Amino acid sequence: MADELRLTIDGQAVTVPAGTTILDAARAAGIDIPVLCYFEHTTSNGLCRLCVVETEGARGLQAACVSVPRDESTIHTRSESVERARRTILEMLASSVDLSEAPDLGRLLEAYRARPERFAGGEERRPALLDDNPMYIRDYAKCVLCWRCVQVCAEDAQYTYAINFTGRGFHTSIGTFYDKPMPQTTCVFCGQCVGVCPTGALKGKREFLLEQGVAPEAIFEVTREPRRGRRRGAGDEDAAS
């Protein structure tokens, strides 16, 4: 196998190490491909299909984040079928999910001249907001099923496995086993899922309450669990004096 891939991306000659994905090869050439589920620090799964590209001679479109091209491939990242596919994905997302806190997607909707109204009248995903712990809320009406939170909760970071996909088809969502409240799961409240969520579906409780107009003193009360049965230590005397 050759050590290098010699590619042509959007008419530009690019040479990258063997095994490089189309996304990374395009980035090396300064070509921007939009992403949604892809994240530098989690395993790529090609779920959202927003990064699709067209490779001459290949069937269908390829998810750039997971596809490794053959040597001497000619790839188009802005062909008509690529643009149409991305536009349709964006339209379907915007017509069914609340993207009000996903500014990157808002910019892409504009850039691709997406018309979510084409799917008006279809079903919208609007599950009730879940507020079951002192640390963060889950508003899955804003969830685009990118899977980043599931991955950091599992092998990509925390090995906690508190959340996973649940349901099927349009009604697929992220949930806990048997829909248990988060404090009854294996969640250790590390906050990594909140950190990687691109749409505001997961949000720190303090941020959420501040947005609701709750006073900081009141927030302090609801986000602190009183310590029970804590033994006194040397530092306590210092603090008391």
- 39 versus 112: smaller Cβ distance to ligand SF4: 39
- 16 versus 137: smaller Cβ distance to ligand SF4: 137
Q: Is 67 left (phi over 0), alpha (psi -120 to 50) or beta?
A: beta
For 195, half-sphere exposure in the C-beta direction (CA atoms, 13 angstrom radius) is 11
What's the closest the beta carbon of residue 163 comes to ligand SF4, in angstroms? 8
Token readout for 175 is 């949930």
What's the closest the beta carbon of residue 225 comes to ligand SF4, in angstroms? 24
Decide: residue 92, CB within 10 A, 0-12 exposed, 13-18 middle, 19+ buried: middle
Footprint on this chain of ligand SF4 (rule: CB under 6 A) = 143-149, 174, 196-199, 201-202
Distances in Å between the Cα of 137 and the Cα atoms of 56, 121, 124, 238 are 45, 28, 20, 36
* DSSP assignment of 80-97: HHHHHHHHHHHHHHHHHS
What's the closest the beta carbon of residue 146 comes to ligand SF4, in angstroms? 4
- 31 versus 201: smaller Cβ distance to ligand SF4: 201
What's the closest the beta carbon of residue 114 comes to ligand SF4, in angstroms? 18
Cα 84 to chain centroid distance, Å, stands at: 22
What's the closest the beta carbon of residue 65 comes to ligand SF4, in angstroms? 15
- 84 versus 107: smaller Cβ distance to ligand SF4: 107
Cβ-based neighbour number of residue 141 at 10 Å: 18
- 16 versus 174: smaller Cβ distance to ligand SF4: 174
